[in-house]
Chain A
């Protein structure tokens, strides 16, 4: 799943540097609803967008995954 998510993000944000980690460990008590992931994305296209808009762009790419497979996504966005 991590590789597919990375591929989707790299396809959606050309030239972006994408780091992704599974941080599910420690959430065993309530992760029946999906994985906990952390993504860090450096993408020039985030420039000029608010933090909220940047995160919404990321969620839009992972819309399907967020429905079931992913319970929580920690997002860190940078423009450079």
Chain B
């Protein structure tokens, strides 16, 4: 991966305790899966920062490689990749996500 893009990605995911790569914005998600993750985090009252991958095709492709994960959304907590929509849902249901956030 292009080191410049990797650096940009790492700066972003480390810019906030929770960071979400998504399609669209939290106010105006452009995909149902991104919308679900935003809704889950909002319902839990958890703050997060985000980036709209539709605004940058280079980042959109690079984060798939970075996370070894082929789809968007992607949630990062403390700079670590957590998963996409299904995993976020399961981790919230089990309470694990709340534990990660509290850490």
Let me know if A52 is at the binding interface, CB within 8 A.
yes
Could you say which of B3-11, B12-20, B41-49, B66-74 contacts chain A?
B66-74
Distance of A72 Cα from B71 Cα, bound (Å): 7
A33 to chain B, nearest CB (A): 10
Task: Report Cα–Cα, A51/B91, bound state, in Å.
Answer: 9
Q: In angstroms, how far is the closest chain B Cβ from the Cβ of A51?
A: 5
Q: How many residues of B contact A (CB 8 A)?
A: 17
Q: Is A56 an interface residue (CB 8 A)?
A: yes
Residue among A52, A66, A73 making CB contact with B87, cutoff 8 Å: A52
Contact count A vs B, C-beta below 8 Å: 33
Q: Flag if A66 contacts B70 (CB, 8 Å).
A: yes
Question: Is the pair B83, A55 in contact by a Cβ cutoff of 8 Å?
Answer: yes
**Which of B31, B71, B82 contacts A73 (CB under 8 A)?**
B71
B70 and A59 within 8 A (CB): yes
Contact B71 A52 (CB under 8 A): no
Instruction: Mark each residue of chain B from 49 to 93: 1 if its CB lies under 8 Å from any CB of chain A, else 0.
Output: 000000000000000000011110000000001111111001100
Q: Contact flags (1/0) for A57-73 with B, using CB distance below 8 Å?
A: 00100010011000011
Choice from A30, A56, A67, A75 contacting B86 with Cβ under 8 Å: A75
Chain A hits for B69, CB < 8 A:
55-56, 59
Say if the beta carbon of A8 comes within 8 Å of chain B.
no
Binary per-residue interface labels of chain A (4-39) against chain B in the complex, 1 for a CB within 8 Å, 0 otherwise: 000000000000000000000001001000000000
Known contacts A66-B70, A74-B85, then 15 further A-B pairs from the complex at CB < 8 Å, ordered by chain A residue: A51-B90, A52-B87, A55-B69, A55-B83, A55-B86, A56-B69, A59-B68, A59-B69, A59-B71, A66-B71, A67-B70, A72-B33, A72-B71, A73-B71, A75-B86
Chain B residues within 8 Å of A, Cβ to Cβ:
30-33, 68-71, 81-87, 90-91
